[in-house]
Amino acid sequence: MTPSLLILTGSGISAESGLGTFRDTDGIWAKFDWQRLATPDGFREDPAEVHAFYNARRRGLMEAEPNPAHKALATLEAAWVRSGGNFTLVTQNIDDLHERAGSERLIHMHGELLQSRCGACSDLQACRDDLSITMSCRACGREGQLRPNVVWFGEMPIGVDEIFSILPSVTHFAAVGTSGAVWPAAGFAEEAGRAGATTWELSLEAGESGHVFTHAVYGKATETVPAWCDRILSETFA
């Protein structure tokens, strides 16, 4: 069977790049109200407040750099594919640190902070500057319809059908830096396990689905991920 690796990442992999996690004690949702800032109702209620929240995170992302964990996953992808394996990186993160580290086979299931989407015509545009309610869509011209291309609570994540089409043939699965608190991502490890895959949790501590993994490595991602990438590659393609 062709070695098929699916890696799921969460905000913990970007923590050491200076970007916030969500559910840690000092996390984003401890400081900000997700119902006002990460739901369609919140955006309808006060779009300017939501834009200010994501504009601040976008500016913060411009100051951030990929860390050794992002780089190790990109190196692993290239070596795994070169060795004839199948590789998919699914991220819940909306930052572009995986891309900047060199990852290519990437699914942003919660969208991308550096993209805008028109609420009227769904046009997507690269977006590295602030968004506001006075801006107009380049495609349809409507004003006040632009939003970050980010999947909010209650909205359908991106690429889920593709991910569930890959999981039944996965031989190796790893969740890196995620609490396993948000579905459907929280169910991927169990799905991979049902396919007979070895499943790894790499985080600071066991997440909400910690019990379903066959292996676990706890510690900071910049320390655990590079060593894990070397190990899984040599064990699989020895």
Smallest gap, in angstroms, from Cβ of residue 180 to ligand APR?
7
Q: Which is nearer to ligand APR, 137 or 221 (CB)?
A: 221
Smallest gap, in angstroms, from Cβ of residue 141 to ligand APR?
31
Closest CA to 104 of 126, 92, 87: 87
Please give the residue whose beta carbon sits closest to ligand APR in the complex. 12
Q: Which is nearer to ligand APR, 11 or 116 (CB)?
A: 11
**Rounded to an integer, what distance in angstroms lies between the CA atom of residue 139 and that of residue 213?**
45
Smallest gap, in angstroms, from Cβ of residue 32 to ligand APR?
10
Dihedral-angle region of residue 197 (phi above 0 means left; psi in -120 to 50 means alpha; beta otherwise): beta
Interface residues toward ligand APR, by CB under 6 A:
10-12, 15-16, 21-24, 27, 92, 110, 177-179, 181-182, 203-205, 207, 220-221
Smallest gap, in angstroms, from Cβ of residue 201 to ligand APR?
9
Q: Which is nearer to ligand APR, 18 or 168 (CB)?
A: 18
Identify the active-site residue in 98, 110, 211, 215.
Answer: 110
Smallest gap, in angstroms, from Cβ of residue 28 to ligand APR?
7
Active site annotation includes 98: no
Q: Which is nearer to ligand APR, 35 or 136 (CB)?
A: 35
Give the residue carrying structure tokens 């349809």.
140
List, as own/partner pairs, every contact residues 217-220 make where C-beta atoms lie below 8 angstroms and the sequence separation is at least 24, other chains included: 220/16
Q: Which is nearer to ligand APR, 15 or 166 (CB)?
A: 15
Q: Which residues are catalytic?
A: 110
